[in-house]
Amino acid sequence: MNIPRVLNRKNRILLKELTKTDFKLRYQGSVLGYLWALLRPLMMFAILYIVFAKLLKIGNDIPHYSVYLLCGITMWSFFTECTSQGIQAIVNRGDLLRKISFPKYIVVVSATLTAVINMLINVVVIIIFAFINGVDFSLSWLLAIPAIFELYILSLGIAFLLGSINVKYRDVTSIWDVLMQALFYAVPIIYPLSLVAETSVKAAKIILLNPIAQAIQDIRYNFITHETITAWNYITSPVVVVPIILTILTLIAGSMVFRKRSKFFAEEV
Amino acid sequence: MKREIGTRTELHSEDENAIVVKNLHKSFRLPTEQAFGLKQAFFNRLKGIKGYKDQNVLQGLDFTIKKGEFVGIIGRNGSGKSTLLKILAGIYYPEKGEITVNGTLVPFIELGVGFNPDLTGRENVYLNGALLGFSNEEMDAMYDDIWEFAELRDFQDQKLKNYSSGMQVRLAFSIAIRARGDILLLDEVLAVGDAAFQEKCNNYFSSLHKKKQTVVLVTHSMTDVRKYCDRAILIENGKIIQNGDPKTVAKAYLNLLS
């Protein structure tokens, strides 16, 4: 795969148009249309906030806990949307694959870009919430960008890897759904990591080795409060690079499998 | 799961050949039972069942298409014509053999690829255009002509699901004919629309012929073969059984049917 061909003019046009279509179709026929991109995570936030912060009184010791929670939920939704849409992209776009010849990664990337757009819209909401909650504006917000990027790279890697397998074995979609339900609780989104750290330091460290947890904590640290536990301030050994390495390895493995299998997508899908 | 892979090379040279195909083979793995699942795949492996059987679709094709030639590919249903076209287009991979494509190639395996019933006519035009490699700006420039040719101007902001199937095909055809490439691959796209629209299509194909556009046309219409083609290739059971003068080959095809 040589770089000039990957991003040549024709492929750029195609990527842009497919992303636009994906986004348009997502909210076709609904009264509120694009508003749903905002409303979905906000509603999930409202439910979790009432249950965990108000009824179970978790996270009262964390400053700006509601923004903290919203931020975690948004980033988690971004990850789930990116992966599940990305995994299904090849199968969903089977009609195109069977009729025109183009680099197959475009359909996967365009599906994930729709998730990126949704996430960006939600970031605007988080910023508004942050202002209302009195989170101080600071330049360290910009440091959250690499962590968001890491989350995207990880999602893309998973989408390439599992999406390739999903063409032949559609079970992957269902397995991934279940796996994500489990993963949701393995990532400190609804519970603060400090709660785990109080009982077991080791457990907290293991949780942080998961790239999703590490990225979300980094985003919170830079965006909301420096009191957030992150891999960098909590794990002192070189083990701290594990999440980064996992992310890179996922992308490499995903790209390799995808490249090898993509030749046969048109026949198998 | 090792599979041999042939080669498909694209180049842009002054050579007089537009397409060269050498010893092209292709077979498909058809699942024998429902093999779309991990469970089935697992049990198949356990029982030592392959789970698929190989269907040899193309068995050693050799031919050359020169620049400026209008070549018809004919054959009965299931003879391998469409598979051949898809391999030429780069959609399927050749299993064995060599393919050289000299020049930019524009395939029409089907009209209106990517058309979405939930989008308006306007949105579909831009989407379909993008799939043919046109940017937004280029589409802007030819937008009016497309609707003019399709005679559907009043419907441009209607959703595509409200179009009749004939209207959809007309719109798709109007976009398709804007595509510019050195080689056009067409899969049975002539038979669309009513008599008046057919006339327009005929003119388009005659103009292609006159312009010395390189065209590979898969068709069942012997009238078209005789009218437009400089040469015809008859495929039967994945092999070329005749390659030459369109009238002779069309006759051989009709004999095959009777």
pLDDT band at residue A1 using 50, 70 and 90 as cut-offs: very low
Contacts of B149 (CB under 8 A, 6+ apart): B174, B177, B200
Q: Which residues of B touch A266 (CB under 8 A)?
A: 86, 91-92
User: How many other β-carbons are positioned within 10 Å of the β-carbon of residue A218?
Assistant: 22
In chain B, the residue whose alpha carbon lies closest to the alpha carbon of A100 is: B91
Average pLDDT score over residue span B112-132: 91
Instruction: Identify whether residues B166 and B126 lie together within a single domain.
Output: yes
- A101 pLDDT higher than 70: yes
Q: Is residue B185 part of a domain?
A: no
Instruction: Say what the pLDDT of residue B1 is.
Output: 44
- Residues whose CB falls within 8 Å of the CB of residue B51, separated by 6 or more in sequence, listed in order: B31, B32, B33, B35, B40, B41, B44, B45
pLDDT bucket at A257, cuts 50 / 70 / 90:
very high
CB contact under 8 A, A266 and B91: yes
Residues 4-23 of A with CB under 8 A from B: 9-10, 13-14, 16-18, 21
In a domain, residue B188? The reply is: no
Q: What is the CA radius of gyration of chain A?
A: 19
Residues B124 and B173 in one domain: yes
The CATH number assigned to the domain holding B226 equals 3.40.50.300
Is B202 a domain residue? no
Residue B244 lies in a domain: yes
Query: Which residue in B89, B116, B135 is closest to A101 by CB distance?
Result: B89
Percent of chain B with pLDDT over 90: 53
Is the CB of A96 less than 8 angstroms away from the CB of B114? yes
pLDDT tens digits, A33-43: 778 878 887 88
% of chain A with per-residue pLDDT over 70:
97
Which amino acid makes up residue A134? Answer: G
User: Distance between CA atoms of B135 and B129, rounded to whole angstroms?
Assistant: 7
**pLDDT: which is higher, A43 or A80:** A80
Distances (CA, A) of B142 to A17, B127, B147, B149, B176: 17, 14, 9, 11, 12
Two tokens, residue A84: 């599940």
What are the residues whose beta carbons fall under 8 Å from the beta carbon of B111, sequence distance 6 or more? Answer: B169, B172, B173, B176, B189, B192
Percent of the residues in chain B that have a pLDDT greater than 70, as a whole number: 93
Instruction: Tell me how far the alpha carbon of residue A220 is from its chain's centroid.
Output: 14
For B168-206, the pLDDT digits (tens) are 988 998 898 888 889 999 887 656 667 877 788 888 888
Q: Is residue B144 part of a domain?
A: yes
Chain B environment of A263 (Cβ under 8 Å)? 5, 93
Question: What residues of A are in contact with residue B109 (Cβ under 8 Å)?
Answer: 98-100
Q: Looking at beta carbons, which residues of chain B come within 8 Å of A16?
A: 130
Select from A233, A220, A232 the least CA-distant residue to A65.
A220
B61 and B138 fall within a common domain: no
Cβ–Cβ gap A95/B127 under 8 Å: no
Boundary residue ending a domain (B161, B179, B197): B179
Q: How many angstroms separate the CA atoms of B246 and B224, rounded? A: 10
| ipTM entry | 0.83
- Over residues A5-43, the pLDDT tens digits come to 667 888 889 999 999 988 888 877 777 777 887 888 788
Domain boundaries, chain A: 10-268
- Phi and psi angles of residue B56, each rounded to the nearest 5 degrees, phi first: -80, 110
Please indicate, yes or no, if residue B23 is contained in any of the structural domains: yes
Assigned domain for B243 exists: yes
Instruction: Please name the residues in contact with A185: beta carbons below 8 A apart, sequence gap of 6 or more.
Output: none
Chain B residue numbers with beta carbons less than 8 Å from the beta carbon of A95 are 113-114
Does B38 or B176 have the greater pLDDT score? B176
B128 in the same domain as B89: no
Cα separation, B213 vs B67, in Å, equals 8
Domain count of the fold of chain B: 2
Measured between alpha carbons, how far is A115 from A112 in angstroms, rounded to an integer?
A: 5
pLDDT beyond 70 at B3: no
Domain boundary among B133, B161, B179: B179
Which domain, by its residues, includes B133? 117-179
Give the pLDDT of residue A32. 78
Chain A residues 64-103 within an 8 A CB cutoff of chain B: 95-102
* pLDDT one-digit tens code per residue, B62-106: 999 999 999 999 999 889 998 999 999 999 999 999 999 999 888
Q: A213-217, A252-256, B198-202: which has the minimum mean pLDDT?
A: B198-202
Residue A161 pLDDT > 90, yes or no? yes
Classify residue B198: in a domain, yes or no: no
Residue in chain A closest to B36 (alpha carbons) equals: A169
Q: Do B37 and A18 touch (CB under 8 A)?
A: no
